[in-house]
Amino acid sequence: MSAISHHIPDTMLAAYAAGNLPYAFAVAVASHVSMCDHCRVALEAHQAVGGAVLEDTPAIAVSHTLKDDILAQLDAPFRPSPVFERQGIFPGPVVEALQGREPRWKTLGMGVRQDILSADADGSVRLLYIPPGQAVPDHGHNGLELTLVLQGSFSDESGRFNVGDLEIADETVEHTPVADEGDPCICLAATDARLRFRALVPRLLQPLFQI
């Protein structure tokens, strides 16, 4: 595997350590950390700082609604944790998100396929399969998109992304990712808003494909 050169920003690692990321982004972060020693060390540093702050925080009175708040959090989706065992190309958090099954690929056209692992009001996380040399339609973003390469590689206007690399695209980014030659590119993609397509056909199909 090539050296990982695109990492998680420190602010996002801190938000993950504090439990403040939505489920879709937490899956992407946990998966990258499972593959990246650099970000694993940085996350452990954030967790150590958080633990030290809690130990030094004086006890305070709590509201009468605390019990209800805690129970509500227990009903929310769990925060995935880094898992360092892999199954084939999939890091542990992706295996957990698959819930013991193989990917169920659904075609998006031109050989591109997807498997939606989770989708709700806070965002979605999916697997993408892109054949070598195939481009994903040019698109922008209405929010944030995290794309983690699990197999192969892809290139776009910002550079090349190999196995373990994480691309972060926000509202300022418009790009046309293209899978490089070699193995098909398989990615984990997490978003908190629908993509913004220029071409008519992707816009028409967008509600059907939930992208």
Between CA 11 and CA 7 the distance in angstroms is 12
The CATH number of whichever domain residue 151 belongs to comes to 2.60.120.10
Is residue 25 within 8 A of residue 190, CB to CB? The reply is: yes
Q: Which residue segment(s) compose the domain that 192 sits in?
A: 1-211
| Number of domains present in the structure of the chain | 1
Average the pLDDT over 40-46 and give the result: 95
Look at residue 54 in the predicted model and tell me its pLDDT: 39
Look at residue 161 in the predicted model and tell me its pLDDT: 98
Name the most confidently modeled range: 50-59, 151-160, 194-203: 151-160
Q: Is the pLDDT of residue 69 over 60?
A: no
Average the pLDDT over 95-120 and give the result: 95
174: confidence class by pLDDT, cuts 50, 70, 90 = very high
Average the pLDDT over 3-30 and give the result: 96
Read off the amino acid at residue 64: H
